Amino acid sequence: MSSEPINKPAEPEISLAERVFWLFVRVVICVVLIALFIWFVRPKPGVVDFDISGDTMGTLYHVILAGVPEYEDKTAVETEIQRELDKIDSLMSTFKDDSEVSRFNVSESTDWFTVSAETAEVVALAIDVSRLTDGAFDVTVAPLAALWGFDSKASHAQEPPTQDVIDNTLKSVGWQHLEVRREPPAIKKSLPQLQIDLSGIAKGYAVDAVAALLERKKITNYLVEIGGEVRTSGTKQAGVAWVAGIENPVLDDQKDATVFTKVEMKNNALATSGDYRSYRSFDTLRVSHIIDPRTGSPLERMTTEVAGHSTSVSIIDPDEHLASVSILAPKCAKADALATAMFVLGETKATELAEKEKIPMLMLYRNKNVNTRIRTVESKTFPKTR
pLDDT in tens, 52-87: 999 999 999 999 999 998 888 999 999 999 999 999
Rounded Cα distance between 94 and 75, Å, is: 30
35 occurs within a structural domain: no
**Strands, E, within the chain: which ranges?**
47-56, 59-69, 113-114, 178-182, 185-189, 222-226, 229-233, 242-247, 259-265, 269-274, 279-281, 286-288, 291-292, 297-298, 320-329, 361-367, 375-378
Domain around 248? 48-378
Answer whether residue 173 shows pLDDT above 70: yes
**pLDDT at res. 363:** 96
> Which tops the pLDDT comparison, 1 or 243?
243
Kindly report whether the peptide bond that precedes residue 249 is cis, defined as omega within 30 degrees of 0.
no
Rounded Cα distance between 343 and 357, Å, is: 16
36 occurs within a structural domain: no
Mean pLDDT of the chain: 86
CATH number for the domain that contains residue 200: 3.10.520.10
What average pLDDT does this structure show over 239-259?
Answer: 81
3 occurs within a structural domain: no
220 occurs within a structural domain: yes
Quick one: how many helices (H) and strands (E) in the chain? 8, 17
Out of 85-89, 179-183, 245-249, least confident range: 245-249
What average pLDDT does this structure show over 103-132?
Answer: 98
Bridge partner residues of 367 (DSSP): 320
What average pLDDT does this structure show over 311-318?
Answer: 46
What is the band of 41 on the pLDDT scale with cuts at 50, 70, 90? very low
Q: How far is CA 122 from the centre of its chain?
A: 11
What is the band of 46 on the pLDDT scale with cuts at 50, 70, 90? confident
Provide the number of structural domains found in the chain: 1
21 occurs within a structural domain: no
Question: Which range has the top average pLDDT, 20-24, 224-228, 317-321?
Answer: 224-228
Answer whether residue 16 shows pLDDT above 80: no
